[in-house]
Structure 1
Amino acid sequence: MHACMQDGMTWLLSSPEESLAYILADSGFDVWVANNRGTRWSSRHVSLDSSSRRYWDWSWDDLVVNDMPSMVDYICSHTAQKPHFLGHSMGTLVALAAFSEGRTVDKLKSAALLTPVAYLSHMTTPLGILLAKAFVGELITILGVAEFNPVTPAGAGLFKELCRHPGTNCYDLLTDFTGKNYCLNSSAVDVFLQYEPQPTSTKTMVHLAQTFRDGVLSKYDYVWPGVNVEKYGQPDPPAYNMSNIPPGFPLFLSYGGRRAG
C-alpha cells in the first residue's frame, strides 16, 4: 500500500533490481499492488463521477474501514492464503489504525511498515509544517473543491503561496516536503515526477493536518461537536489506540537514517 499522493506505480519506477515489487516477485512472492481510491488506476465509481464533490467526500478513515479490509479480503479469496502486508508512509498509517481496531489483523501473516506514520507532531520539514497549518477544515469551502491535486490550478496556487515563505526551497520540493532522501538522485526524482503526485481528497489532507496540530491519532474531526456526535456519538472524534494492536502480531518497522558525510 502506497503513500499519500502516490499510487501503485511508486513500487515499480526504479529498475527491476531496485523496485521492491520486482524484487519480491523475483524472490517467488505473489505480489499484489494496491491503488487507493481517486488515484490513476482506482478512479472509477459505481455511481459517482470524479468531478463531483461527493466522490471526494472521504478521509483516510474510509481507507481504514472500507478499502484496506476489502483489498485484503479480495487477495485472501483469490489465493486462499494469508498475505504479508507491506506499506509506505500513509499506507502504514492506514494499517496501524486498522490493526488497532481489530481489522484485517487476523487475516495477515505479518506487516512490514516502511517509514511508518502515526503521530505527526514531531514533523520538522518546512513545507510539511506549512501544509499542516494551511489545511484547516474551512479550506474545503475556500477552495470550492473536495479533490486535492497538486497539478491543478488550485493545488499549484496553494504551493506557489507556500513557496513564498522563508525557509522553503521549492526548487527541491520533494526534500522540502519529506526531508533529505539519500536514496534518490535527481534522475530518479525526474522519473518519479513523470508519474506522481496523484490526487487525493482534500479531506484526507485536512485529516493529516489535524493529526499534526492536535498531536493525537484520531478519526476525522468535523470541528462542530454536533456533527461529531452525529458521526461518532460523542463531541470529539474517537482516538485510535495503538496499544490495542495484538502484541503477538509480527510487525516490522523500518526507516531511513542519515549516512555519514
Structure 2
Amino acid sequence: MANSCLFSIIVFVLVCGSVVGTRTNVFSAESHDDKTALETAATDGICASMVETQNYACEEHTVTTEDGYILSMQRIPSGRSGRTPGNKPPVLLQHGLLMDAITWLLLPPEQSLAFLLADNGYDVWLANTRGTKYSLGHVSLSPNDSAYWLWSWDELAAYDLPATFQHVHDQTGQKLHYVGHSLGTLIALASFSKNQLVNMLRSAALLSPIAYVGQLTSPLARYAAEDFLAETLYWLGVDEFDPRGEAVVNLLKDICNKPGVDCTNLLNSFTGKNCCLNSSIVDVFLDHEPQATATKNMIHISQMIRDRTITMYNYEDEEENRKHYGQPNPPVYNMTNIPSDLPLFLGYGGADALSDVNDVKLLLDSLKDHDGDKLVIQYREDYAHADYVMGDNAKQLVYNPLMAFFKLQ
C-alpha cells in the first residue's frame, strides 16, 4: 500500500489534468444515440464485464438528460437466486467524483453493496454521470468538443440526477431509495435543498457526505484547490479533466516536491488513512478508475474548498454571474431547506480527509431541526473516504445497518 507508482493515478484525481485526446471508449464521439449505446454496451459494458461474470442478471439502460447528455445505467433486477423483480423496492446508487458505477462492484459479490442489495430483495440501479467512460454520448456533441465539457456539479444536480431518478421511477412505478458516495451525496443534498426529487424518494443514504468542504485535511486536495491548478488548466483551454492524461508525471513530480505533501503513500495522503482496504481491491480499482470529469467541475469544487461555501458555480465576475443567475453572486444551496421528514442515513468516518468530521458537523448542524425518527447518523472512527466503497468489512459495519434502515422506510 506504500507503492507510489500504484497510487499515482489516484493522486491525479484531484490535482492534475491533460488535453483531450481521441477517444475509443464504449460511448465514443460517434455514439450519439441510445440504440448505438445499448448495442455496444451489450458486449462491452458494465453488465457484461462486471455483473454477468458474477452470475447476476443485468440490463443495460440509457437515459437522455434535458440538456442532451446520454447516460448509461445498469439494472440488477434480482439476486443470484434469479427471482423476477416483482414489486421489489428500487435502489439507485450514485458514485462519487472521477468514479463510475463500477464503484459499487469492486468488492466480491458477498461484500459489494450492489450485489448485497440485489440478494436482499432490492431492484438495483447504477448511475454513471456524464463524462465517464460509459456516459460519453450526447445528442449533438462529441467529447472532443469543448462545449461537451461546459458543466460542473450544478448540472449533475440539475439534469443528471433528475433524469436517472425519473427513469427508475418510470420503469418500476415506485418511489426509490438512494445511496450516494462523496460527490454523489453533494448533488443529492443540493437537489433536496431545493425540494427537488423528494416526491420520488423513499429515503437517502449518504456515505462520506460532502456539503461543506472548507476544513478538509487532505494536503493534496487543499494544495490543488488553493493553488488554482484547475483554473490554470481551464485558462490553457483544457476543458476535460482526464486523470489518465499525459500531464500526470510532470504535475505529480511538482506536487510531491511541495512542503507537507507526503508521496510515499499517496492514497492515504489524498483520502485519509483508510483502515480496511486490501491490495487486491486497489488493483481492481486501478483497472477501471479514475474516470474523467469537466475541468469546470474541478474548479467548482476548488471554490467550495477555498470559500467554504455551498453555492452554484462562481464565474468570478459580477456581470457574468448576473447573466447566469440574475444576481452578482452565485445562489446558495441552503441545507436547512432539506425537508425535515425526509428519511436520511448519514455515514461518516473519523479518518476521512475529504469528508472531514468538522465539515460533517456543519452539515449535521444544518439538519438540527430534522425529525428525530427520520435521521440516522453512523460514525466510524477508523473509516476514511475509500473504506465506504472498498473496505473489506463495510458489509458488516455499514451496509447491513444501511439495509436495516431501508427496511424501516
Distance 1:137 1:22 in 2: 36
> How far off is 1:6 after superposition?
0.3
Q: Secondary structure at the match of 2:180?
A: strand
Partners of 2:234 and 2:296 within 8 A in 1:
no
Paired residue total = 260
Q: Which residue of 1 aligns with 2:117?
A: 24
2:262 pairs with 1:169: yes
> How far off is 1:49 after superposition?
0.8
Distance 2:160 2:259 in 1: 39
Q: Which residue of 2 aligns with 1:251?
A: 344
**Quick one: which of 190, 196, 209 aligns to 2:289?**
196
Q: Which residue of 2 aligns with 1:86?
A: 179
Partners of 1:36 and 1:42 within 8 A in 2:
yes
Distance 1:155 1:238 in 2: 34
Deviates more, 1:100-109 or 1:134-143: 134-143
Q: Which residue of 1 aligns with 2:30?
A: none
Which AA in structure 2 matches 1:134?
D
Q: How does 1:207-222 map to 2 (within 5 A)?
A: 207-222=300-315
Distance 1:140-1:231 versus aligned 2 partners, 3 A rule: farther
> How far off is 1:2 after superposition?
0.3
Which AA in structure 2 matches 1:179?
G
Distance 1:208 1:32 in 2: 26
**Quick one: which of 113, 117, 120 aligns to 2:213?**
120
> How far off is 1:171 after superposition?
4.0
Partners of 1:137 and 1:223 within 8 A in 2:
no
Give the 4+ runs in structure 1 shifted more than 4 A.
none
Q: Which runs of 5+ in 2 are unaligned?
A: 1-93, 350-379, 384-409
2:204 pairs with 1:111: yes
> How far off is 1:80 after superposition?
0.1
Q: How does 1:151-166 map to 2 (within 5 A)?
A: 151-166=244-259
**Quick one: which of 219, 224, 238 aligns to 1:131?**
224
> How far off is 1:144 after superposition?
2.1
Q: Which residue of 1 aligns with 2:167?
A: 74
Deviates more, 1:81-90 or 1:177-186: 177-186
Q: Which residue of 1 aligns with 2:331?
A: 238
Partners of 2:304 and 2:310 within 8 A in 1:
yes
Give CA deviations for 1:93-127 in whole Å, capped at 9, x if unaligned: 00000000111011100000000000001100111
Distance 2:246 2:155 in 1: 27
> How far off is 1:235 after superposition?
0.7
**Quick one: which of 317, 320, 324 aligns to 1:224?**
317
**Quick one: which of 149, 156, 178 aligns to 2:271?**
178
- Larger relative CO (CA 8 A, sep 6+): 1 or 2? 1
Q: How does 1:42-81 map to 2 (within 5 A)?
A: 42-81=135-174
Partners of 2:231 and 2:299 within 8 A in 1:
no
Give CA deviations for 1:164-184 in whole Å, capped at 9, x if unaligned: 212223342221111111121
2:128 pairs with 1:35: yes
2:189 pairs with 1:96: yes
> How far off is 1:136 after superposition?
6.0
Distance 1:69 1:105 in 2: 10
**Quick one: which of 99, 117, 128 aligns to 1:6?**
99
Partners of 2:207 and 2:347 within 8 A in 1:
yes
Partners of 2:183 and 2:210 within 8 A in 1:
yes
> How far off is 1:44 after superposition?
1.0
Q: Secondary structure at the match of 2:204?
A: strand
Q: Provide the TM-score with structure 1 as the length reference.
A: 0.95
Distance 1:225 1:154 in 2: 33
Larger Rg: 2
Distance 1:155-1:225 versus aligned 2 partners, 3 A rule: farther
Distance 2:204 2:248 in 1: 33
Which AA in structure 2 matches 1:15?
P
Which AA in structure 1 matches 2:104?
W
Which AA in structure 2 matches 1:68?
L
Q: Provide the TM-score with structure 2 as the length reference.
A: 0.61
Which AA in structure 2 matches 1:200?
T
Q: Which residue of 1 aligns with 2:7?
A: none
